[in-house]
Amino acid sequence: MSTVKQPNSNESDAAPAMPPGRTWSLRARMIASALLLFQVCAVLYGPLSMPPTITTDALRPVFRPYNGATYQGNSYKFFSPDPGPSHLIRYELVNDKGEKTTGTFPDRKEEWPRLFYHRHFMLTEHLNQAMAPPAPDDPPPPADWTAIKTPPEQLRLAQSYANHLMHKYNATSATLWLVRHSIPTPDQAIKGMKLTDPTLYRERRLGSFALNQ
């Protein structure tokens, strides 16, 4: 370590007690530069690797473990490519006496403060997004969203959510529906359509689950 030489106090109008800042030796700067270069590339790798490209696939063994461990491999694509409808999950639970419990999450009345509500909201949004990208020879999905067959990735998450609900409410079976809440067009809103209009809600059955299936 060395210090930056300060001008003699007689030569300067600066505050007399100005402390010098320590600069780094060439060796320290070279080691730090290598680490910084790696960090900078790792940060860039996150958004560049989503979706994967030939280049990012080749660099995957270098950056993926580090980014995975440090939670840096994010794409940072907030509200993109397009903001769209939101998703909720409606559930119906049945206990061993045949009694039913129903509910929906996220629910602002139950989940507070707002951040806690948002955690539940992310559970449903991420479930909706959890599906493998279609293969080139896959048939196009049906135009009717409610007719889409639940993909296995969503099914596994729905099972986990259902298990949690059954443990929490002492139920033995659960049925879950994914509810899509669409947004009215600006024209519809101008004509008076409310954001809670029943026609904006559609639901798709995720499945029925037994405890610890």
Partner 1 sequence: MIELVTNYLRDLIRWVVTGWNRFWFTPEDPATLSVIRILAGGMLFYTHLVWSRGLEDFFSATSWISPEAALEMHGDNYPISYFWLINSPAGLWAVHIVALAAMLCLTLGLFTRPAAIVSWIAAISYVNRVPLAQFGLDQLNTMLCLYLIVGPSGACYSLDRWREKRNAQQKGWAIPPVRPSVSANIAIRLMQFHMCVIYFAAGLGKAQGESWWSGTAMWWALGNLEYQSMDLTWIAAWPLLTSLLTHATVFWELTFPVFVWNPKLRPLVIGMAIPVHLGIAFFMGMITFGLVMLFGCMSFVSPKLVRMVLDRAPAEQGRAGGEAPSRQTAQTRPISRRPAPVARATKRS
Binding residues for partner 1 restricted to 147-186, rule: CB under 8 A: 156-157, 159-161, 163-164, 167-168, 181, 183-184, 186
Binders of partner 1 among 183-212, rule CB under 8 A? 183-184, 186-187, 189-190, 195-196
| Residues 101 and 171: beta-carbon distance below 8 Å | yes
Closest distance between partner 1 and the C-beta of residue 105, in Å? 9
Binders of partner 1 among 48-107, rule CB under 8 A? 64-65, 68-86, 88, 106
Closest CA to 209 of 169, 170, 156: 156
144 binds partner 1 (CB under 8 A): no
Closest CA to 91 of 212, 157, 175: 175
Binders of partner 1 among 20-49, rule CB under 8 A? 20-24, 29, 32-33, 36, 39-40, 43-44, 46-47
Instruction: Give 142: exposed, middle or buried? Use CB within 10 Å, 0-12, 13-18, 19+.
Output: exposed
Q: Which H helix or E strand runs over 122?
A: helix 114-129
Closest CA to 176 of 156, 200, 194, 191: 156
Query: Among the candidate windows 12-20, 96-104, 137-145, 170-178, which touches partner 1 by CB under 8 A?
Result: 12-20
Is the CB of 28 or the CB of 141 nearer to partner 1?
28
Is the CB of 85 or the CB of 208 nearer to partner 1?
85
Binders of partner 1 among 112-141, rule CB under 8 A? 112-116, 118-123, 126-127, 130
DSSP letters spanning 37-64? HHHHHHHHHHHHTSS--HHHHHHHHHHH
